């Protein structure tokens, strides 16, 4: 779509979507583009995908990643939105911190994909050999796995999906855990065994793609709202409300899964862990769905989880009264 390469059918660009550059992020952006074009009757060229390098993609080292804080994946996209270089940003909602710049708004959540984790390297958790090495850098996966299999050892595994699968193949770990949604989007559907949520609970917002834009950009807000999936949106807001009430992030040992039922009620279940997996506190709550404010019942639920947790677990989370 450059000026010196005109084509007879060249389409005017209607929307510029910023995305991270990893293969998974690009697959997510393609899905957003497909849905936008279908909803508005546009040709593919009407939505331009603009790849930006996110800070998190440049950092392979955990210590550096921690200095970068929670905004690792979103900061560059935020800046590009502010500068008007893109109209909207495509995010994997699992990686989006709960506190966002007030001038930005999550305008659409796409229909959620499979939220489960997939175990790669063994057919089930029980089938993992005694003392095996579990490759993961996610505190939730590490703590949950150590809770179920305290005989195992966690080794740090960073990088994108392909990198982690390559590390596994190279023998750096015996098993790893990946999101089913990510594997699906990369066409890796034959890889590993999906874990039942009753056995291994997923991360807040896992499997959900969100689109964010400037809060004052009414044109983009309207275009994006056409592809919003209300049920998924409610589930994601609920899970993020819990994460926020626990003052957690994607670096916290928190699992949560909300399901919105056809009767309009939301079921939320969650588990918090101590980092070593020795403490596990699970709970479940149901309440009437309200897109605008899942916060009240969720805050009480979060307080109850923390009350039942051991001091070592509570210390991982924010200060709660
Ligand atoms: N933290 C990395 C990340 N962020 C989002 C996904 C894909 C799954 C999703 O869309 O939630 C992944 C890969 C993984 O966890 O295996």
Res 120: pLDDT: 97
- The residue whose CA is least distant from atom 10 of ligand 1 is 207
Output 195 or 189, whichever has higher pLDDT: 195
Average pLDDT, the chain: 90
Sign of the CA dihedral with 139 first, then 141, 144, and 146 last: negative
Q: Which position among 61, 78, 87, 95 bears the catalytic label? A: 95
Cα–Cα distance list, 141 to 125, 225, 245, 314 (Å):
12, 33, 20, 18
Catalytic residue list contains 95: yes
pLDDT at 72: 66
Q: How far is CA 27 from CA 33, 59, 171, 289, in A?
A: 10, 21, 28, 31
What DSSP character marks residue 11? P
Identify the sign of the CA torsion 102, 269, 93, 273.
Answer: positive
d(CA 253, CA 260) in angstroms, rounded, equals: 23
Q: Tell me the percentage of the chain whose pLDDT exceeds 90.
A: 78
Contacts with 138 (C-beta within 8 Å, 6 or more apart), sequence order:
177, 203, 250
- For the chain, list the domains and their CATH numbers: 1-110+208-228 (3.40.190.10), 117-194 (3.40.190.10), 229-316 (3.30.160.40)
Give this complex's ipTM.
0.91
Span 61-90, mean pLDDT? 76
How would residue 56 be classed by pLDDT, with cut points 50, 70 and 90? low
Closest CA to 213 of 76, 35, 89: 89
> Taking 50 as the threshold, does the pLDDT of residue 275 lie above it?
yes
Least confident of 121-130, 184-193, 198-207, 268-277: 184-193
Q: What is the pLDDT of residue 139?
A: 95
Q: For a ligand 1 pocket test, name from 59, 91, 94, 113 the mutation site with the most ligand atoms within 8 angstroms of its C-beta.
A: 94
């Amino acid at each position: 779509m450059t000026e010196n390469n005109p084509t007879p059918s060249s389409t005017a660009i209607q929307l510029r979507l910023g995305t991270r550059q990893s293969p998974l992020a690009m697959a997510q952006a393609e899905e957003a583009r497909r849905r936008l074009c279908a909803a508005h009757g546009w040709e593919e060229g009407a939505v331009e995908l603009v790849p930006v390098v996110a800070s998190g993609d440049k950092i392979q080292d955990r210590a550096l990643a921690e200095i970068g804080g929670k905004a690792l994946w979103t900061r560059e996209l935020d800046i590009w939105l502010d500068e008007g270089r893109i109209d909207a940003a495509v995010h994997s909602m699992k990686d989006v911190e709960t506190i966002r710049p007030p001038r930005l708004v999550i305008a659409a959540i796409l229909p959620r994909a499979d939220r489960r984790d997939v175990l790669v390297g063994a057919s089930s958790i029980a089938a993992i050999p005694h003392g095996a090495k579990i490759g993961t850098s996610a505190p939730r996966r590490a703590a949950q796995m150590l809770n179920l299999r305290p005989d195992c050892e966690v080794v740090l595994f960073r990088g994108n999906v392909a990198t982690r699968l390559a590390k596994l193949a190279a023998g750096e770990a015996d098993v790893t855990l990946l999101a089913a949604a990510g594997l699906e989007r990369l066409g890796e559907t034959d890889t590993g065994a999906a874990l039942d949520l009753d056995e291994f609970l997923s991360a807040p917002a896992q499997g959900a793609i969100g689109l964010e834009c400037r809060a004052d950009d009414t044109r983009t807000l309207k275009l994006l709202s056409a592809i919003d999936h209300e049920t998924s949106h409610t589930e994601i807001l609920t899970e993020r409300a819990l994460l926020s009430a626990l003052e957690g992030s994607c670096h916290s040992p928190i699992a949560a899964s909300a399901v919105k039922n056809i009767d309009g009620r939301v079921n939320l279940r969650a588990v918090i862990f101590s980092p070593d997996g020795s403490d596990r506190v699970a709970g479940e709550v149901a309440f009437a769905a309200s897109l605008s404010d899942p916060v009240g019942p969720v805050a009480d639920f979060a307080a109850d989880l923390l009350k039942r947790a051991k001091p070592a677990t509570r210390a991982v989370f924010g200060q709660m009264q």
